[in-house]
Amino acid sequence: MKTKNIFLYIFVVFSFFGCEKFLEEEPRAIIAPETFFASENDAKQAINGTYAILKNNSIYGQVGLDHFYDNGTDIIEPNRAANFVQPIGNYTLNEALADVSVQKMSVSDTWKDLYRVVFNSTIIIDRLTGNEAILEEERTLMIAEARFLRALCYWHITNLWGDAPFYTEVLTLEEISQLGRTDKETIIDFIIEDLQFAQTHLPDSYSDADRGRASKWAAAIIEAKIYMKQQDWDAGLAKCNEIIDQSPHRLLPTYNEVFDPLNEYNDEIIWSLDFARDIEGIYDPAFPGFSFAGNNSWRPSMFNPRLRDEPANTSERNALREALTARGEAFNGTGLQVASKDFAEKFPLNDLRRELNIVDNYLGFDLNFPYMAKFWNLDLDTSPRFNHSDNRMVFRMADVHLMAAECENERAGGNPNDAFEYIRDVRERAFATVGEAEAILGLTQTEFREAIYDERKWELAAEAHRRYDLIRWGILLDVVQNLEYRFWEPNVNIRPYHVLLPIPLQELQQNPALLESDPTNNGYR
């Protein structure tokens, strides 16, 4: 099938960087696609390079997708007026600002990198199909992996832009440059096909040497999320039950264990992208001392406090520094991802998850801002500033239990008390007593629905789900209009069209066909 749509500045070159074990091979570019993949190793390097694009700052590296899925909602906000995150979080974004790139992050960068994955995955699928130089079992597995990566990125594209450029066969750059937008429903149908193929052929799990690859269960959770957005509650519940009953993943006994930096491949994690320190990326002279698109993670530094902001009593700053030094730690981050004012004020005081989501006192020092310790890493030896090895968690099992509870509550004939049983373990590890955990038993369907709104907020805070949830529930506008931010005014600026992003101006100028089906560019004109 060949469908049309998009201009995209595509490099016909894979971005390959080391990824602990499974991305350690020497990179190779697709210079002549028709002669590539002469061996299984060629194909594996292509897959590895496509994974590497996901680790760019614009997607899962640093806080790329966080800007779209979390900033400007009711969970996180920066601790100061930061220009490069403000347009999205403050709902002041326009087509021109979408092109402005700071630290390799912009709407335009995310657009381009998502489509690079689509482009590369489509080439891989084409070059592997019928390629007798590679054993059938191996090429089927790699095709499944490429189809997962393509589905993942098309899913993000439809979430962020709705109708979007879409193709499924290898096209020339000239053909690509003339593509318009395809309706998102058509794209979603194809995403489901890719995900189902991936689930059929990807393994349940991987050996230590291949940790970081996506298993069939990563594909399954995206499929379940799509059904839920379509309000196909029975299909969503069936897929969630399949993950709960058949996958090797389970809820851990405590919330804190999930985020233990020494156990990043624990049983609750369905998929995370692995990073390693001291593996540098591309040097950019505009940012001396930093590199981009490498395999070392920036993200913890975005959540780590910076000493110049702390503590609340500035006369105690030296004492705090000394206390941190004694522990081999430092407040040397940016502090640009802190708990929002609204989130910090509303997080239940008796909820055991609070200590990893709201840190307003550290080592006995009161802090100016509430930080989210679940993602910070203060250790100087193992995790220096902007050179962290912390993995990027994408999906975990608690999310699936919360999804199943919502599906059970919403489906025809569903029962809120039956729905509660899907999250009993999630709640019981979050509270000291069974009575506190069972406080949401006996609710009506409407009451349980609203309880799920909050439960997902407390459990999955800053894990890049919130705006997606608020949009599919149809309450983004209502929630944001009732927020009070420290520096911004999202409650004043937000408009109904902010459920989507604009296609960047540069893309529109280079391909006017992108405006044919929607001259308003998602309402931004």
Q: Which amino acid is at 517?
A: S
Tens-digit pLDDT string for the chain (525 aa): 433 333 333 333 333 333 334 333 333 333 344 546 889 999 999 999 999 999 998 999 888 899 899 999 999 998 887 666 689 999 999 999 999 876 667 899 999 999 999 999 999 999 999 999 999 999 999 999 999 999 999 999 999 999 999 999 999 888 988 999 999 999 999 999 999 999 999 999 999 889 999 999 999 999 999 999 999 999 999 999 999 999 999 999 999 999 998 899 999 999 999 988 776 554 344 433 333 445 678 889 999 999 999 999 999 999 999 999 999 999 999 998 999 999 999 999 999 999 999 999 999 999 999 999 999 999 988 888 888 889 999 999 999 999 999 999 999 999 999 999 999 999 999 999 999 999 999 999 999 999 999 999 999 999 999 999 999 999 999 999 999 998 889 999 999 999 999 999 999 999 999 999 999 999 999
CA gap 171, 187 in Å, rounded: 17
88-121 CB burial, b ≥16 within 10 A, e <16: bbbbebebebbbbbebbbbbbbbbbbbbbbbbbb
Residues 29 and 171 both lie in one domain: yes
467-502 CB burial, b ≥16 within 10 A, e <16: bbbbbbbeebbebbeebebeebebbeebeeebbbbb
Last residue of a domain, one of 361, 385, 409: 385
Residues 50 and 196 both lie in one domain: yes
CB 448 within 8 A of CB 456: no
Residues 19 and 153 both lie in one domain: yes
Residues 181 and 308 both lie in one domain: no
Selection from 80, 232, 49 nearest residue 145 by Cα: 49
Is residue 138 a part of any domain in this protein? yes
Last residue of a domain, one of 385, 401, 425: 385
Residues 37 and 184 both lie in one domain: yes
Residues 63 and 174 both lie in one domain: yes
**Which tokens go with 378?**
């203060």
Last residue of a domain, one of 362, 385, 408: 385
Is residue 237 a part of any domain in this protein? no
Residues 503 and 369 both lie in one domain: no
Is residue 127 a part of any domain in this protein? yes
Number of structural domains found in the chain: 2
Q: Is 212 helix (H, G, I), strand (E, B) or coil?
A: coil
CATH of residue 15's domain is: 1.25.40.890
Residues 40 and 185 both lie in one domain: yes
Residues 378 and 510 both lie in one domain: no
**Which pTM was predicted?**
0.92
Is residue 165 a part of any domain in this protein? yes
Number of H helices, E strands in the chain: 22, 8
Is residue 325 a part of any domain in this protein? yes
Domain, as residue range, for 8: 1-202+488-525
Residues 512 and 378 both lie in one domain: no
Is residue 267 a part of any domain in this protein? no
Is residue 479 a part of any domain in this protein? no
**Which tokens go with 223?**
């499929």
Residues 169 and 303 both lie in one domain: no
Residues 179 and 36 both lie in one domain: yes
Chain position carrying tokens 């709902």? 91
Is residue 427 a part of any domain in this protein? no
